[in-house]
Amino acid sequence: MRKGILSIVIWGVLIGNCLAQDGDNSFLFMLTGPGSRASAMGEAFTAVGGDAGVPYFNPANAAGFNATEFSLMHVSYLSDATLEHFAVLTRKRSFRFGVGLYLGKTANFERRSGTPTDEPLGTFDEHNFTGSVFWAVPLCQRLGIGSSFKWAYQKLDIEDAHAFAADLGAIYELSSAAIIGAAVRNLGTKPKFISESFDLPREFRVGASYDFKTNPQSNGLLLASDFILTNWGDKSYRLNVGGEYLFQNLVWLRTGYSFGYESRGFSVGGGLCYLKYKLDYSYVPSKHNLSDMHRFTLRLQL
């Protein structure tokens, strides 16, 4: 056990110290996570498994997944912004793998010249896309690792840019109920708009979860928390906490809170299960009256 914990800690410290980030960030859409379940729990998901959306936060979370699941999510926020996400996660023997596709759009940005005017010259849209492949494997009974590889693209009016990125993750089971995990996200090339390059929004996550249920189908509570180091050169820290209660393997109640974010804090949601189908919903109110966020996710588990 000590060796497993120590390996995760050393791995995280080395990456955090060696890859400090400076400069401005671009491609911030890569920080919008998939899954209504994670959203309702405050995105405290670095050490939580159980659905096709978990590799986004830590690809190693898929190491203990023992089924095939298809996930389709729709997000609406602001007045003209949407995000669609599709993921599939499956396994072959001990090897878990899958793909994720993200498509976002924000419409009706005002186009203006360098001279102030009462009326805009017109409007334009922002489009973004991310395609990812991910894998995970248990190295032993308690330790699992995983990674994902992504290609991201953004178009602003007539200008566009792209980047390649990777995520790395590890999880360790302290017991059948307690799990710790660590992940580093969005390590890759710099997107370049016209002649200027920008950093990707990298982050380092450390999390823990504790499941009070005696088995995945019984009544009980799951608690989780994440510590996140964002924009490493800026010394920015965030804390996510969340919980999920399962009743009769039919209904989930979820809530969470995200500390250190400018636009969000409290979150709440739930889910329903019928046979192989699961429907999840989350609601995240905005702190500054910008726009509340609603997420709907349909999952099919085989």
Q: Domain residue spans in the chain? A: 2-111+119-301
Q: Do 148 and 165 touch, CB atoms closer than 8 A?
A: no
Q: Domain 2-111+119-301, what fold?
A: Porin (2.40.160)
pTM of the model: 0.83
Whether residue 100 is predicted with pLDDT greater than 80 in this model: the reply is: yes
Which conformational region is residue 281 in: left (phi greater than 0), alpha (psi within -120 to 50 degrees), or beta? beta
Q: Do 55 and 100 touch, CB atoms closer than 8 A?
A: yes
Write out pLDDT tens, residues 3-60. Answer: 444 444 434 444 444 444 444 667 888 888 888 999 999 999 999 998 998 999 999 9
- Tokens 């994902």 belong to residue: 148
Q: What is the DSSP string of 159-204?
A: EEEEEEEEEEEEEEESSSSEEEEEEEEEEEPPPEETTEE-B---EE
Write out pLDDT tens, residues 178-230. Answer: 999 999 999 999 998 888 888 899 999 999 999 998 776 678 999 999 999 98
For residue 64, how many C-alpha atoms fall within 13 Å in the half-sphere facing its CB?
Answer: 20
Which residue type is seen at 230?
A: T
Write out pLDDT tens, residues 280-299. Answer: 999 998 876 667 888 999 99
